[in-house]
Amino acid sequence: MAGWDEILREIQTTPGNFDVVRRKYIHNLAQLTNRNVIAYYSGFLTKATAPNTDINDGDMSGFMNALKDADTSKGLDLILHTPGGSPTAAESIVKYLRTKFNSDIRIIVPHMAMSAGTMIACSGKEIVMGKHSSLGPVDPQLNGIPAYDILSMFNQAKAELVNEPKLLTYWKLLLERYPAPLMYRAVSAINLSSVLVKEWLGTCMFDASKESDRAVIERIANALNEHQDSKAHDRHFDIAKCKKIGLRITDLESDQALQDAVLSLHHSYIFTLDQTATVKIIENQDGKAMISLTKT
């Protein structure tokens, strides 16, 4: 494996540096697995306030571009690094990928796939995680705001105003920033997230027609909706937690060659996101890419 410092030196000494090095390592992974590879990377860790770091409907163009002329009989390894986003956008992406690959999709999470990213991870036949990897609660976000937080705020306002009418001015000023339709969108997004996770788990990773699998699916869905109790949108579920709740997890460390290829690729993408104006990359093993930049 090329380590963090080795990838940095390679970037610094390579003409065309970031793109050339990144595409070298995604191509290496595809050569190793003999599968299609799509890397979906967001710069959310260092560009949290930038637009388009989330999963949204605009991402479909990137996936369509990445799959043009692809040999879909080889299956797909989808590498996710995302804070999450829209559950409806995630639904469209999953439907498209499943149609193209007949559900032969493996999800690889080198670091983090949160919220709607966790939802997408649940659509694969297995999830590859390292000891450093994390999934999270399937708490959808609306305009970057956790849906549960929106719902909680409206519920708190309702409860407090019953007993303390004098707080009306305070809540009026606060809620003017969040129109009532946003609450209904939040409720719908929360409900949709749970429905989709159960549906996807039951049609690939598990078989919902089997009673034993239905019990596992229910346990996973309940655990991934843990935000309702913990109030922690950004809680990290490590590989041990993900195995414990029943997800079909493969240890990245169990295959040294795969681990080396995935982590080298991961470092090269993180360097691109950290050291350039790039906020999102959707790219395949042949270098077909949709790259989003920050606006200056």
pLDDT tens-digit map of 95-145: 999 999 999 999 999 999 999 999 999 999 999 999 999 999 987 666 666
- Looking at every residue in the chain, the average pLDDT score rounds to 87
pLDDT at 235 > cutoff 90: no
Can you name the CATH fold of 4-144+232-293?
Answer: 2-enoyl-CoA Hydratase; Chain A, domain 1 (3.90.226)
pLDDT at 216 > cutoff 90: yes
Model pLDDT, residue 191? 74
Query: What's 39's DSSP letter?
Result: E
pLDDT, greater one: 96 or 225: 96
Model pLDDT, residue 230? 43
Whether the Cβ atoms of residue 127 and residue 250 lie closer than 8 Å to each other: yes
Strand ranges inside the chain, DSSP E: 36-42, 76-81, 105-109, 112-113, 126-129, 134-135, 141-142, 145-146, 249-251, 278-284, 289-293
pLDDT, greater one: 63 or 233: 63
Model pLDDT, residue 158? 66
Q: What digits encode the pLDDT tens for the residues 241-274?
A: 999 999 999 999 999 999 999 999 999 999 999 9
Q: What digits encode the pLDDT tens for the residues 13-72?
A: 876 789 999 999 999 999 999 999 999 999 999 998 899 999 999 999 999 999 999 999
Categorize the per-residue pLDDT at 171 as very low, low, confident or very high, splitting at 50, 70 and 90: low
For residue 296, the one-letter residue type is T
Domains of the chain by residue range: 4-144+232-293
DSSP string, 105-146: EEEEESSEE-THHHHHHTTSSEEEE-TT-EE-----EETTEE
